[in-house]
Amino acid sequence: MNKYKVEKTEYLQKILDVEAYSKQEAIEQVKKKYNLQEEVLESNDLVKTDIEIFNPNKFISKLDILKEKIDKFNKDRDWDQFHSPVNLSKSISIEAAELLECFQWSNDKYELEDVKEELADVMNYCLQLCNVLNLDPIDIINNKIDKNEKKYPIDKSKGVSTKYSKL
Ligand SMILES: [Mg+2]
């Protein structure tokens, strides 16, 4: 049995070690394990035992680039030392209050530029908290929506704002 390195190139790239008798079998193993339907390509640039499983969704997301930018901003200023989970949680709450301030005296009159800035502050700190706690923001939001779908079945919650415990 040979050892193959299979690069699974989805949203996050991952190199997998696979034992198989052939490249094709290695590819099939990975496809089966991850339920992949993608087209499989072999690249000449890779060494003989490397196989790339091509995924058309392969990309560095805007979120990845943004996270790097935030990280650099903080590293350049040596601010990571201040970013404990509790400090970041406080900052989220403070910025959320600043967002609310945009609507303080009127329900329908607000400066969109101010809203954009405060909303950005809130989300910036949310991303930083995810980073510090090693959480994937997309995963945790996805998981929470899955939970909420169970908590708020459509037949009971459609068109009503009642809390799940009172449905
Ligand atoms: Mg602010």
CATH topology for 62-135? Helix Hairpins (1.10.287)
Tens of pLDDT along 69-100? Answer: 999 999 999 999 999 999 999 999 999 999 99
Separation of 86 CA from ligand 1 center, angstroms? 18
Which CA distances in Å does 110 have to 117, 124, 129? Answer: 13, 21, 28
Residue 34: is its pLDDT beyond 60? Answer: yes
Separation of 118 CA from ligand 1 center, angstroms? 5
Separation of 140 CA from ligand 1 center, angstroms? 24
Separation of 32 CA from ligand 1 center, angstroms? 47
Tens of pLDDT along 53-73? Answer: 555 455 567 888 889 899 999
Separation of 133 CA from ligand 1 center, angstroms? 22
Separation of 73 CA from ligand 1 center, angstroms? 16
Tens of pLDDT along 1-26? Answer: 777 766 665 544 566 777 878 777 87
Separation of 104 CA from ligand 1 center, angstroms? 15
Its pTM stands at 0.64
Burial class (CB in 10 A: 0-12, 13-18, 19+), 5: middle
Confidence band of 45 (pLDDT split at 50, 70, 90): very low
State the pLDDT at residue 47.
39
Contact, 7 vs 14, CB < 8 A?
yes
Separation of 136 CA from ligand 1 center, angstroms? 24
Separation of 166 CA from ligand 1 center, angstroms? 35
Separation of 134 CA from ligand 1 center, angstroms? 24
The more confidently predicted of residues 43 and 136 is 136
- Structure token digits, residue 13: 């790239």
Q: For the chain, what are the domain ranges?
A: 2-53, 62-135
Write down the mean pLDDT value for the chain. 82
Q: Which of 11-20, 48-57, 107-116, 137-146 has the lowest mean pLDDT?
A: 48-57
